[in-house]
Amino acid sequence: MPILVLNCGSSSIKFAVIDASCGERILEGSAEDLGGAGPGSLRWLAGDETGGGELAGARHEDALRSITDLLGRREGLRDSIRGVGHRVVHGGEVFTGSALIDAGVLERIEVLSSLAPLHQPFNLLGIRAMQALFPALPQVAVFDTAFHQTMPERAYLYAVPHALYREHGVRRYGFHGISHRYVAGEAVRMLELSPARSALITAHLGNGCSATAIENGRSVDTSMGLSPLEGLVMGTRSGDVDPGLHEFLAERLDLDVAGVTALLNRESGLLGLSELSNDMRRLTEAAERGHARAALAVELFCYRLAKHLAALVVPLGRLDALVFTGGIGENAAGVRERVVALLGHLGLRLDEERNAEHGVRSRGVITTDDPPVAVVVPTDEELLIASDTAALTR
């Protein structure tokens, strides 16, 4: 059952056609550099075949038409698609699972744009464009926040006047839920755990980073909050800081609130600490060559991550497995080594050989087999979106 999966961001669109019945990626690619003054670009992969080039325009609508044209040029592909699945960043408290899109769902997604003003408008743009280009196909919204709607009040409320929650929706929502949900299910399967009795902590580590405590398949706490800025140190995001820093920086740097928020989102994290890069690979290489600030950035990243992971044991009460995923989590053996060493008091014991090969010959496990274990699970958000879309459109 081929499903078209779309992830429309502010400057790019990732897409894939996936056979939801077996997980085969028939076609995948991305449109980049959208919304700027220059031309955009399109790159795609189908088996061993690759292609792409400049787009005729740099608007999202131009890119979506080019993607649709690409589908039409692949023999029989466009006509074989049975549904379109969209990644939607924010579902608020309204959506606790994926939803078949109708006029009412679309209206509620639009209302929730105020909670994700940098991302939701582009998610909506993609939905509307696909409805126009594929009017006969069902469309499904898969929400990044939905998985975390099982958190209890003690985990999602802030200690602020309750009227702010009641009247304005001020609470912790969490993000990366599609990835956390996927890798948790895969970890339970790979480790042959009982889905009804499992205690996992999943660490999604890329340019954006978050960690989640998952009890019996349900999110019970997570590191991100009202926005993706809360929590772990990330590529360009600061993660947790003193809220008073906003006023302090506004006065010292003559910035408004939006300016301070932009600084914490785009100029901080690994990039701000190292004054070199937000890329963990480049920082690790630089640290090995003696770059002091790169070394500090890597050390601080691992230390703050370990602190958050240890805290997430509290809502679980025990731990079966720590799951690493995302670009850093899946590939940075040195980061995993540091973090596991800092969590030795939980009973984790690194196996250096397994860790060096990312657990490929040991069911993903990078520690000794004595529980709890640490495991590497490659994420596949597109496959989960395709699976949810297929389930809702049969």
Tokens at 302, concatenated: 């691992």
Beta pairing partners, 221: 213
Q: What is the distance between the alpha carbons of residues 140 and 52, in angstroms, rounded to a whole number? A: 27
Q: What is the distance between the alpha carbons of residues 15 and 12, in angstroms, rounded to a whole number? A: 10
Amino acid at 210: S
φ/ψ of residue 28, rounded to 5? -155, 160
Tokens at 319, concatenated: 């731990």
Annotated active-site residue 144? The verdict is yes
φ/ψ of residue 116, rounded to 5? -145, 65
Q: What is the distance between the alpha carbons of residues 156 and 164, in angstroms, rounded to a whole number? A: 13
The CA–CA distances, whole Å, from 145 to 28, 93, 150, 186 equal 24, 9, 10, 19
Which of 48, 144, 242, 380 is labelled catalytic? 144
Tallying the residues shown for the chain, one arrives at: 394
Beta pairing partners, 15: 6, 29
Beta-carbon neighbour count of residue 370 at 10 Å? 9
Q: Return all residues near 38 (Cβ < 8 A) that are at least 6 apart.
A: 58
Beta-carbon neighbour count of residue 194 at 10 Å? 9
Tell me which residues are annotated as active site: 144
